Amino acid sequence: MNDDIETVETGELGEKIVKVLKTIYDPEIPVDIYELGLIYDVLVNEDNEVCILMTLTSPNCPVAESLPAEVEEKVKSLDLVKDAEVEITFDPPWTQELMSEEAKLELGLL
């Protein structure tokens, strides 16, 4: 029975993390980083430590330094999160195919 409680809490925390990620925007594109497909994975361990695997639209992205720090800070600000770490990867490289339908519609790509 305890497993069910932990699963629900982790699920709720995951939803809260996604909500926070949807408040962060790429400065060059008027779409949040989650809908853009920049978030590859969100891992939460049993101690509520969060690891986010994300990418940038390009290695030369002007917010390469500030965007991961903003993601980390905003996720850490959630009450249930003990710690958060952001890892940047360019494998696979970001493409427009990673964007949600909503983001593509917003940008007039559909």
Range of the domain at 93: 2-100
Q: Is residue 110 part of a domain?
A: no
Q: Would residue 108 count as lying in a domain? A: no
pLDDT of 61 over the 90 cut: no
Phi–psi pair at 40, nearest 5 degrees: -90, -35
| Segment 22-54, tens digit of pLDDT | 999 988 888 999 999 999 999 999 899 999 999
Instruction: Provide CB contacts within 8 A for 23, sequence distance 6+.
Output: 32, 74
Q: How large a percentage of the chain has pLDDT more than 70? A: 91
Domain count of the fold of the chain: 1
Q: Evaluate whether residue 24 is within a structural domain.
A: yes
Query: Is the residue at 18 inside a domain?
Result: yes
